[in-house]
Amino acid sequence: MASSPLAPIPASGPAARRDPAAWRLARLPPEGDLPAARAFCRQIASRHYENFTVATRLVPARLRQHLANVYAFARWSDDLADEASSPDKAATDLAAWRHELEDCFAGRPRHPIFVALADTVRQTGLTIEPFGHLLDAFAQDQVTTRYASRQALLDYCRRSADPVGRIVLALEGCRDAALVAMSDSICTGLQLVNFWQDVRRDRLAGRVYLPWEDMHRHGVGEALLDAPTAGPELRSLLRDEVAWARRCFDDGAALARSAPAALRPAIGLFLAGGRAVAAAIERQSFDTLSRRPRLGRWHKLQLVWAAWRATRRDRGREIA
């Protein structure tokens, strides 16, 4: 019988080899143990997301566990989709996980991630909608591997990226429509630059996020994505796509100054990081086939230092 997202799987043996996530499923803390569930979420966040510790240090301590709980949900959901042995298995596991999400918001959490997340929901008043949208995006990835237009890709980003920013704002009780729209722009921009730096990686996974209409306009057929380096047509296309992402960042930039004060430094860090990735793509002449653009350690430290200084300035204003 196929395992569900809740079923324990041995940490070794055939089952573990079939399911790369087995080591995590085998180490679930006891059901209903809130302190253990919180620790479990922190472990997932710190293990899988190298920037998590840095980002959470830029927000007040009262928000750090909530962010870990949200991230653990997103990470686990993504793994259920990407580590499944088949699209059908992914669909089955995501459907079961959605039922667990619904039970969580109904006050009946069972899985440790939902035990921790239910506590966040009680304290902050989060709603189920953005979490459901994330699951919609993970399910869409199993059946949709091409996008005809920018509008179609934006519709995907509305579910795959924008909900994260909306959840983070809601942790501070922020649901102002203008601020949410700025957050959506930043999150969409981050998703887009991630696509543009990962053209080869996505292609090898059988996915093309470059909109077909844009490819056609620049004379880029899919065969060009298999070349060892980007030709002039693809470079021209990626120049336009990076400019699109940058406009998204510009549209949302004011959020780093107008969001709840507790969130501004972290928002500023991710906005600056997205812009830095766009600049890195440009520095290598928009060729993301020959190598994936990366930010150097020194550049990352500069971004973190700037965000930390912003934190100090905001705290100084609060004291004054």
Residue 269 has pLDDT above 70, yes or no: yes
Residue 163 has pLDDT above 70, yes or no: yes
Q: Which residue in 204, 203, 193 sits closest to 281, CA to CA?
A: 193
Model pLDDT for residues 131-140, shown as the tens digit of each residue: 999 999 999 9
Mean pLDDT, the chain, integer: 86
Q: Exposed e or buried b for every residue in 148-185, given b needs 16+ CB within 10 A?
A: eeeeebbebbbbbbbbbbbbbbbbbebeeeebbebbbb
> In whole angstroms, what is the distance from residue 205 CA to residue 113 CA?
28
If you average pLDDT over residues 179-187, what whole number do you get?
A: 98
- Inter-residue contact 245 to 277 (CB < 8 Å): no
Rounded-to-5 percentages of helix, strand, coil across the chain: 70, 0, 30
pLDDT given at position 198: 96
> In whole angstroms, what is the distance from residue 102 CA to residue 118 CA?
11
More confident residue, 16 or 305: 305
Among 18-22, 33-37, 121-125, where is mean pLDDT lowest? 18-22
If you average pLDDT over residues 19-43, what whole number do you get?
A: 73
Q: Exposed e or buried b for every residue in 55-67, given b needs 16+ CB within 10 A?
A: bbebbeeebbbbb
* Tokens encoding 319: 């004291």
pLDDT given at position 107: 95
Q: How confident is the model at residue 27 (pLDDT cuts 50, 70, 90)?
A: low
DSSP state of 181: H
Beta strands, E only, the chain? none
Tell me what percent of the residues of the chain surpass a pLDDT of 90.
71
pLDDT given at position 307: 59
For CATH 1.10.600.10, list the domain ranges present in the chain.
32-126, 144-320
- Inter-residue contact 120 to 134 (CB < 8 Å): no
CATH number assigned to the domain with residue range 32-126, chosen from the 4 options 2.40.30.10, 3.40.50.300, 1.10.600.10, 3.30.830.10: 1.10.600.10
Fold of the CATH domain 144-320? Farnesyl Diphosphate Synthase (1.10.600)
Helix, strand counts (H, E) of the chain:
17, 0
What spatial distance separates the first Cα and last Cα of the chain, rounded to whole Å?
Answer: 63
More confident residue, 16 or 289: 289
* Tokens encoding 79: 């793994």
Residue 229 has pLDDT above 70, yes or no: yes
Residue 301 has pLDDT above 80, yes or no: no
> In whole angstroms, what is the distance from residue 311 CA to residue 298 CA?
20
Collect all residues with Cβ–Cβ distance below 8 Å to 167 and sequence separation of at least 6: 70, 126, 130, 131
3 state SS of 112:
helix
